[in-house]
Amino acid sequence: MGKIILDKMAMQRALTRITYEIVEKNKGVEDLVLIGIKTRGIFLANRIADRLQQLENVTIPVGELDITNYRDDIEHDSMSIDVKMSNNKIDFSIEGKRVILVDDVLYTGRTVRAALSAVMDLGRPKSINLAVLVDRGHRELPIRADFVGKNIPSSQKEQIKVYVSEIDDKDAVELIK
């Protein structure tokens, strides 16, 4: 059975802190766009956008990125893939924007690498930052997050599971042994 590392309250606080840090680092919210990485990253991106709305009374665009087709560690039939036809929902231009990529867990870094490629395919943002709820270590690529909710050192045998109430009926981060 899983052990809860972050409960609902802690998860909310982590997102709140990340939101403040985003404003702090970007000296405001000008040109900011959020891109959530499927699946839970999207919900987290939306929650950060809600917070920015409460705080600054601005609506920050939130895009959805499905990077399944970009993962270099997942084999697929390259003939059948059309990058532009993937499940992304980014109906705004990222040209010259400050992009914040949002994901639930940062692990090997391969997801983020794929996300970076996907974003680059869409245009030339001014900057790309990475926000993650959990950084569990074991990086295989030189990637680091700019905003981290919680560092959870974990062994590779362990599993980190993030639940979001939008689809999971609860908010929690669990460590499963």
**Identity of the residue, 49 or 99, whose beta carbon is nearer to another protein in the bound complex:** 49
- In terms of Cα–Cα distance, which of 90, 11, 24, 91 is closest to 52? 24
Binding site for another protein (CB under 8 A): 1-4, 7-10, 12-14, 16-17, 19-21, 23-24, 27-28, 51, 54-55, 144, 148, 150-151, 169-170
Nearest to 26 by CA among 93, 95, 99: 99
Q: What's the min distance (Å) between Cβ of 162 and another protein?
A: 15
Judged by beta carbon, residue 10 or residue 89, the one nearer another protein is: 10
Q: Taking the complex as a whole, how short is the minimal distance between the CB of residue 95 and another protein, in angstroms?
A: 27
How many degrees, rounded to 5, is the angle at CA 159 between CA 116 and CA 149?
A: 55
Q: Strands across the sheet with 147-151, in order?
A: 62-65, 32-37, 98-106, 127-135, 147-151
β-partners of residue 105 are 134
User: Whole-number minimum distance, CB 170 to another protein, in Å?
Assistant: 7
Nearer to another protein, 20 or 92 (CB): 20
